[in-house]
């Protein structure tokens, strides 16, 4: 049996979950892995006297983790790309393995941190989708496959908001306030509802499974602020649910990578992932469709993934086995180009909700404007006005159209005097 000594950076929810799981399941982990994990040192900005540190030494200086010769590996659980980045860089320089749950630092600096020996010194299962083993699923479980596409619900806050809007008929602002009260959303929720959190996670999946590079700048990112209760209800009438998705697709032109709300058929597996749960559906040539689903956040759920990595690193300390990163089929070996398809060239069907004045001939004007850009209509809804002089929503599902043409058509529609308010546009998810 082997004892591995751990240093922990941070003492928040995830770190406390790590301590609790080691306390509760340490013997089980030893029996399964042959490794005993012992927490020897913890460094955090402030002490928490109410937390049992299991005999670990405590300090407020992260450098104490780097300078402690007793430590075999470090768990970085503080987040952000400031002090956390410095800690991971310092550990890499000293050859100390690190487990991190930090999606931001990987999305922004993954190429650097995984360069050279970094592949074997850094593990980050908990950085994407909490307890779901999607990193290992892609990097090892599907290593024999060519990945064709990936669709993910990878932000629990957005999923909770859309689900509650649909099930309870509660407007966006009220559901957001409820999510904040329950701890599902931060006091400043912009990181979640503007799509940044999901984009960080998708960048990691993009690099691991499709391109071999971590580049957040290549993603198209949209949040959910513009989606209203009316859109949720119209989508349901059309046979869809609205989900905030991360989408990656291998195409002949390159790799599409985008984060945005999308209409998903109501009978699809992803459409029925509810509450704060996460799910990632991967399509590959050998395994076909595989679905990974589970808690995407929470102290013990995330701690489970952290400790999975810690045990893997503990077994790896005397071997050269590292995390496998697939190389891009269409990446240029000379300039390391990711060959990400520009969003203007992405083709998708679209949901449009167009608030118009209530008078004859309006629908014909709308369809005429769309026809100027060769956009055809797959389905339409037009209800009666809610009251005198109230706008009438014309809801359309278009056939597939290139993004650039759709944007031009929207500009044309918004210039019509019959359009009474902002048009809501939501893409329809590609076929899974």
Q: What are phi and psi of 246, to 5 degrees?
A: -100, 130
H or E element at residue 59: strand 57-59
H or E segment and range at residue 81 = none
Pairing of strands 350-356, 347-348: unpaired
DSSP 8-state assignment for residue 340? B
* DSSP secondary structure code for residue 359 in this structure: S
- Cβ-based burial of 209 (10 A; exposed 0-12, middle 13-18, buried ≥19): buried
Is residue 258 within 8 Å of residue 251, measured between CB atoms?
Answer: no
Token pair for 57: 């030494």
Q: Are strands 392-398 and 350-356 parallel, antiparallel or unpaired?
A: antiparallel
119 is catalytic: no
CA 275 vs CA 170, 204, 225, 296, 302: distances in Å: 14, 24, 18, 10, 17
Of residues 92, 103, 164, 201, which has the active-site annotation? Answer: 201
Q: Name 28's Cβ contacts closer than 8 Å, sequence gap at least 6.
A: none
Query: How far is residue 396's CA from residue 377's CA, in Å, rounded to a whole number?
Result: 7
Task: Name the burial class of residue 148, with classes exposed (0-12), middle (13-18) and buried (19+) by CB atoms within 10 angstroms of its CB.
Answer: middle
Q: Give the span between the Cα atoms of 135 and 326, in whole angstroms.
A: 12
For the chain, give the number of residues: 432
Cα 303 from Cα 126, distance rounded (Å):
8
Active site residues: 201
């Amino acid at each position: 049996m082997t004892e591995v000594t751990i240093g922990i950076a941070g003492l928040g929810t995830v770190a406390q979950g790590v301590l609790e799981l080691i306390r509760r399941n340490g013997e089980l982990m030893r029996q399964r892995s042959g490794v005993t994990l012992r927490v020897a040192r913890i460094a955090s900005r402030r002490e928490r006297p109410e937390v049992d540190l299991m005999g670990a030494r405590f300090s407020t200086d992260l450098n104490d983790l780097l300078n402690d010769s007793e430590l075999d590996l470090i768990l970085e659980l503080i987040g952000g790309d400031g002090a956390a980045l410095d800690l991971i860089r310092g550990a890499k320089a000293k050859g100390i393995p690190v487990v991190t749950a930090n999606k931001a630092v990987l999305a922004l600096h993954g190429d650097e941190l995984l360069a050279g020996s970094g592949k074997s010194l850094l593990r980050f299962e908990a950085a994407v989708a909490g307890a779901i083993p999607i990193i290992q699923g892609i990097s090892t479980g599907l290593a024999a496959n060519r990945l064709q596409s990936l669709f993910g619900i990878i932000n629990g806050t957005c999923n909770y908001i859309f689900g509650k809007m649909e099930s309870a008929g509660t407007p966006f602002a009220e559901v957001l306030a409820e999510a904040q009260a329950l701890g599902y959303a931060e006091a400043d929720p912009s990181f979640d509802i503007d799509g940044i959190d999901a984009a960080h996670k998708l960048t990691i999946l993009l690099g691991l499974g499709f391109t071999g590079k971590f580049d957040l700048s290549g993603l198209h990112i949209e949040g959910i602020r513009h989606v209203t209760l009316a859109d949720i209800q119209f989508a349901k009438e059309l046979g869809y649910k609205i989900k905030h998705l991360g989408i990656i697709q291998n195409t002949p032109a390159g790799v599409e990578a985008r984060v945005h709300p999308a209409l998903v058929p109501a009978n699809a597996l992803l459409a029925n992932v509810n509450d704060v749960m996460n799910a990632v559906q991967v399509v590959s040539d050998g395994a076909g469709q595989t679905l990974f689903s589970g808690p995407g956040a929470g102290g013990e759920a995330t701690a489970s993934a952290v400790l999975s990595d810690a045990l893997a690193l503990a077994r790896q300390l005397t071997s050269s086995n590292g995390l496998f990163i697939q190389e891009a089929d269409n990446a240029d070996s000379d300039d390391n180009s990711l060959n990400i398809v520009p969003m203007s060239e992405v083709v998708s069907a679209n949901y449009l909700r167009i608030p118009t004045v209530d008078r004859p001939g309006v629908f014909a004007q709308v369809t005429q404007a769309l026809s100027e850009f060769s956009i055809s209509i797959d389905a339409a809804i037009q209800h009666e006005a809610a009251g005198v002089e109230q706008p009438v929503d014309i809801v359309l599902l278009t056939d597939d159209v290139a993004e650039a043409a759709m944007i031009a058509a929207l500009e044309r529609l918004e210039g019509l005097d019959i359009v009474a308010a902002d048009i809501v546009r939501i893409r329809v998810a590609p076929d899974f």
